[in-house]
Chains A and B, each alone.
Chain A
Amino acid sequence: MIKKNDLGRRRSFFLFSYKWRMVMPLLILMFVILAYPLAYSLWISFKNFSIVNPNQDHFVFLDQYKKIFVDSLYWTVFRNTIIFVIVAVSFELFFGMLIALSLKRQIRMTDVTRSIILAPMFITPIAVGLMFKFLLSQQLGFIPALLQSLGISINFFGTHTALITLAFIDVWQWTPFMVLMLLAGLESLPEEPFEAAYVDGASKWKTFWNITLPLMQPIIIVAVLIRALDGLKVFEYVYAITRGGPGNATETLQYHIYKLGFGYYRLSEASAVAWTVVIIIMIVIIAMLRGQMKGEKAR
């Protein structure tokens, strides 16, 4: 006898239960756009495939990875990316906290100021890159011209300054994100500890340091994590402004991968570098989440 379900259709026809059928479109989509490319890039990272040598397509196992780890350029690029992330995220956190604290005290017109402050976030990073390329241009730029009238001449894209300049472009664009996250956190904090501190006569600095910061810790961790991961994949500013120069001073991991894959056509090597980034990102996420969970348990 053929069993029929509620809808009166033959069950055997569908193979899967109702709930699986409902998520099936999403699963297929995820597989096609996420799992398959990921697995494929892992697969070719163990080969020596290059677009300009279609005949050379052998399985070399870990050779690509070994090559990467002895390549001094890889470590330069790695260091650049880490410096970029640390500089950008710490300034974003600092300015973000400052702005969030002052916005919290604002009473009138909050919606207007907030929407203005959030504006940079809604510009595509490549446009921000081009914008700053021209703003900081020695020939056409407003900022060097302004500094020149004050008698200051800075080479924004010199050996020691270029990476920091890029990090500050990131700060300009993404501090609003920090503000958004931190402000939401600040507004959800309970009132009582602050009232108690006020009654006890604690100074503002002490209140901030001993009450606000510890209470905000989970939110800060999440915000920093999101920004740090975003920072690790910086590409647009480098592509639009410096192309990794001067020398290799601003070449970041993502730009390096792009250069290997689409510049030099070595897809296997590019995939291998990309997978080292994936692994680093996973380690960072796991470490931070574990730290957060431990912190929660201790409380």
Chain B
Amino acid sequence: MIKKLFYFVLMLVLLAGCSTAKTQGTDGKVVLKLLMEQVPDSDIVKKMTKDFNKENPNIKIDIEMLSYDQIRDKLVSSFLAPKSSYDIIVVDNPWMYDFASAGYLEPLDKRIKNAKNYDFEDFSAPLRKIATVKGKVYGIPFYNYATGVIYRKDEFEQNNIAVPKTLDELQAAAKKLTKDNHYGIASQPQKGYKILEEWSNWLFAAGGEIQDNQGNIKLDSPEAREALSKYIETYKSSAPPNSSNWAFDEAMRSVSSGQSAMTLNYNWMLPTLNNKTGPAGDLAGKFDLAEVPGGKAALGAWYWSIPAKTTHKDEVWKFINWITSSKQEVNRVILGGAPVRNSAMDNPKVWEKGYGESYYKTLKNILEDAEPLAEGPNAEETIQVIGTELNAAVNGQKSVDQAIKDAAAKAKETLKK
């Protein structure tokens, strides 16, 4: 019996040994587990880790890539565990406030200050603002997904249409470009995040806002009603039929197949569309990017953060510091990453090896005046409840007036939760 007990204990020790052996490799290397979303920008980082290892042979980066929904579930469960299962994480902007204020993320101010040749002010200002929660910085910008108008240059020229600067011009352009089985704009009215991301551009253009500077919900306004009425009008007259559940993939397909002439979408779609071997095929090269009407765009961004419970904070910072340094930012952007540093967008080397001067200049302008969909506590839920009401209005379940009223009321309620 004692012998059996001995084997049992031995087995437990071995099992425990397995789980700790992971972070400290047998060859003395520190293994950092990195959780990322399965997107092209992550692939670029994966390529770059080879260069990082040349400079830091003692740190091994182990990247796990998952889909958007999965990484959030994994992050949340990892925060609740006694020891973080990940050492480096990426955080989407609506999660930043909640994660930071719950104490799940490590404040980075001191590390930023002590880092050599590290110009934090060089990151586009709206991006830095999101990363700052209650006066402390919790994330370093990784890549942006601000919105712009992606349109077919050739079609706009043929029809003598200028790039729309106001909502009315946008509506008129979309209408003019709609004929037969060809549509002016590929809308993305899918419930939740997607519709709010698209519609907020309309709201900003109409002069409305979702939250004021103090974070109060300001959605219940005539501007919001105007923006939603116009959005629905254009969806009905100029978007492909039965597209009320469309999101990014569908809009991208619609534009790349030539079905639609424009879309309000992530700026980094342009290089993909203009890629000769990309999804647009023969249409590649005919697309261009412009600022959204009114000039104020919906902003989204991903951030590098350090979970508060990881044991290898110094090594993690070494990596974050390296990948977000001005030098590596240039390399990352040339490889196709979405820029976050002004210096990279102003760099002639980037223009030449990347996607041309005009793209980066437009992008810099977009980023300068851009705002996230929701800030403060429960941002994720706020976005979802507003997006649900908007979608209900597009589908005719609610009137514009009712939808805006409900959205504002529910968003206010959510903030208090």
Determine chain A's interface SS by DSSP, over half rule.
Answer: loop
Which of A79-87, A216-224, A243-251 contacts the other chain?
A: A243-251
Answer yes or no: B57 CB below 8 A from chain A CBs.
no
Report the separation of the CA atoms of residues A153 and B80 in the bound assembly, to the nearest whole angstrom.
49
Q: How far is the CA of A58 from the CA of B98 in the complex (A)?
A: 19
CB distance from B283 to the nearest CB of A (A): 16
Whether B240 and A138, one on each chain, are in contact in the complex, defined by CB atoms closer than 8 angstroms, is yes
Question: CB within 8 A of A263: which of B380, B395, B417?
Answer: B380
**A246 and B395 contact, Cβ closer than 8 Å, known pairs A157-B245, A263-B381, A263-B384:** yes
Segment at the interface with B among A47-55, A99-107, A188-196, A274-282: A47-55
B242 touches A159 (CB 8 A): no
B25 interfacial contact with A, CB 8 Å: no
- The answer to whether the Cβ of B190 comes within 8 Å of any Cβ in the partner chain is yes
A266 adjacent to B190 (CB under 8 Å): no
Assess whether A90 is interfacial by the CB under 8 Å rule.
Answer: no
**Which residues from 163 to 193 on chain B have a C-beta closer than 8 Å to any C-beta of chain A?**
190-192
Whether A265 is near chain B, meaning CB under 8 Å from some CB there, is: yes
**For the side of the interface on B, what is the size category?**
35 or more
- Are the CB atoms of B398 and A247 closer together than 8 Å? yes
Which of these, A158, A242, A246, A265, contacts B98 with CB under 8 Å? A265
Convert A123-141 into 0s and 1s, putting 1 for each residue whose CB lies closer than 8 angstroms to a CB of B.
0000000000000011110
B window 218-277: CB within 8 A of A:
240-245, 250, 253-254, 259
CA distance A108 to B190 in the complex (A): 50
- Bound CA span A158–B250, Å: 16
Contact between chains at A159 and B380 (CB < 8 Å) = no
B412 to chain A, nearest CB (A): 15
Q: Mark B51-91, 1 if CB is under 8 A from A, else 0.
A: 00000000000000000000011001001100000000000
B-side contacts of A265, CB under 8 Å: 76, 98
Please indicate the chain B residues that have their CB under 8 angstroms from the CB of A156 in the complex: 242
Residues of A within 8 A of B324 (CB): none
Q: Are A139 and B253 in contact (CB under 8 A)?
A: yes
B281 close to A (CB within 8 Å):
no
Q: Which residues of A contact B391 (CB under 8 A)?
A: 245-247
Provide the residues of chain B in CB contact with A266, threshold 8 Å: 417
Confirm or deny: A113 has a beta carbon within 8 angstroms of a beta carbon on chain B.
no
User: Is B396 in the interface zone, CB < 8 Å from A?
Assistant: yes
**Residues from chain B with Cβ under 8 Å of A247 in the complex:** 191, 388-389, 391-392, 395, 397-398
Are the CB atoms of A245 and B384 closer together than 8 Å?
A: no
B348 contacts the other chain (Cβ, under 8 Å)?
A: no
Give the distance in Å from the alpha carbon of A51 to the alpha carbon of B99 in the complex: 9
In the complex, chain B residues whose CB is within 8 Å of the CB of A157: 242, 244-245
The one of B76, B191, B396 in contact with A51, judged by C-beta atoms closer than 8 angstroms, is: B76
Q: Closest chain B residue to A250 by CB distance?
A: B191
Known: A52-B98, A262-B76, A264-B381. A245 touches B245 (CB 8 A): yes
In the complex, are the beta carbons of A51 and B395 less than 8 A apart? Answer: no
A110 at the interface (CB under 8 A from B): no
> Would you call B378 an interface residue if the criterion is a C-beta within 8 Å of the partner chain's C-beta atoms?
yes
Asked whether B21 is an interface residue with its Cβ less than 8 Å from the other chain, the reply is no
**CB pair A153 B191 closer than 8 Å:** no
Residue of B nearest to A162 (CB): B245
Q: Are B241 and A264 in contact (CB under 8 A)?
A: no
Judging by beta carbons under 8 Å apart, are B191 and A245 in contact? Answer: yes
Complex CA distance for A262 and B253, rounded to whole angstroms: 30
Interface status of B15 (Cβ within 8 A of chain A):
no
Best-buried of B191, B259, B396 by chain A (most CB within 10 Å): B191
Given A243-B190, A245-B191, A158-B99 contact (CB < 8 Å): no
How far does the alpha carbon of A247 sit from the alpha carbon of B384 in the complex, in Å?
11
Could you tell me the distance between the alpha carbons of A129 and B398 in the complex, rounded to whole angstroms?
A: 28
The answer, yes or no, to whether B14 is at the interface (CB within 8 Å) is no
| Contact of A248 with B388 in the complex, beta carbons under 8 Å | yes
Least distance between A18 CB and chain B CB atoms (Å): 17
- Report how many A-B pairs have Cβ atoms within 8 Å: 90
Chain B neighbourhood of A242, CB < 8 A: 191, 245
User: What residues of A have a CB within 8 angstroms of the CB of B192 in the complex?
Assistant: 243, 245
Nearest residue, chain B, Cβ from A13: B1
A155 within 8 A of B: yes
Q: CB distance B395 to A159 under 8 Å?
A: yes
Q: Which partner residue on chain B sits nearest A259 by CB separation?
A: B384
- Chain B residues with CB under 8 A of A53: 102
Q: Does B103 contact A (CB under 8 A)?
A: yes
Contact A246:B102 (CB < 8 A) given known A158-B395, A262-B73, A266-B417: no
> In the complex, what distance in Å separates the CA atom of A44 from the CA atom of B288?
52
B358 adjacent to chain A (CB < 8 Å): no
Contact of A158 with B244 in the complex, beta carbons under 8 Å: yes
Closest approach, in angstroms, between the C-beta of A72 and any C-beta of chain B? 10
Known: A246-B191, A246-B395, A248-B392. A52 touches B101 (CB 8 A): yes
Whether the pair A138, B80 counts as a contact (CB closer than 8 A) is no
Contacts of B240 in A (CB 8 A): 138-139
- List, in ascending order, chain A residues with CB within 8 A of B396's CB: 159
Question: In chain B, residues 317-358, which have Cβ atoms closer than 8 Å to a Cβ of chain A?
Answer: none
Per the bound structure, the CA–CA distance linking A157 and B190 in Å amounts to 11
Q: How far is the CB of A165 from chain B (nearest CB, A)?
A: 11
Residue in B76, B245, B398 whose Cβ sees the most chain A Cβ within 10 Å:
B245
A256 to chain B, nearest CB (A): 12
Provided the pairs A51-B80, A52-B102, A265-B98 are in contact, do residues A153 and B395 lie with their beta carbons within 8 angstroms?
A: no
Which residues of B lie under 8 Å from residue A153 when comparing CB positions? 241-242
Asked if residues A246 and B397 are in contact (CB atoms below 8 Å), the reply is yes
Chain B residues near A139 (CB, 8 Å)? Answer: 240, 250, 253-254, 259
For the A-B complex with A52-B378, A243-B192 known, give 12 more contacts whose Cβ atoms are closer than 8 Å.
A51-B76, A159-B397, A244-B388, A245-B191, A245-B192, A247-B391, A247-B392, A248-B388, A262-B73, A263-B381, A264-B384, A266-B417
Question: Can you show 29 pairs from A to B with CB atoms below 8 A apart?
Answer: A51-B76, A51-B79, A51-B80, A52-B98, A52-B101, A52-B102, A52-B377, A53-B102, A54-B103, A138-B243, A139-B253, A158-B242, A243-B190, A243-B191, A243-B192, A245-B190, A246-B391, A246-B397, A247-B392, A247-B395, A247-B397, A247-B398, A259-B384, A262-B72, A262-B76, A263-B380, A264-B384, A265-B76, A266-B417
**Which residues in B have some Cβ–Cβ distance to A below 8 Å?**
72-73, 76, 79-80, 98-99, 101-103, 190-192, 240-245, 250, 253-254, 259, 377-378, 380-381, 384, 388-389, 391-392, 394-398, 417
Q: Would you list the 7 A-B pairs with minimal beta carbon distance, nearest first? A: A245-B191, A247-B392, A52-B98, A246-B395, A155-B242, A264-B381, A247-B397
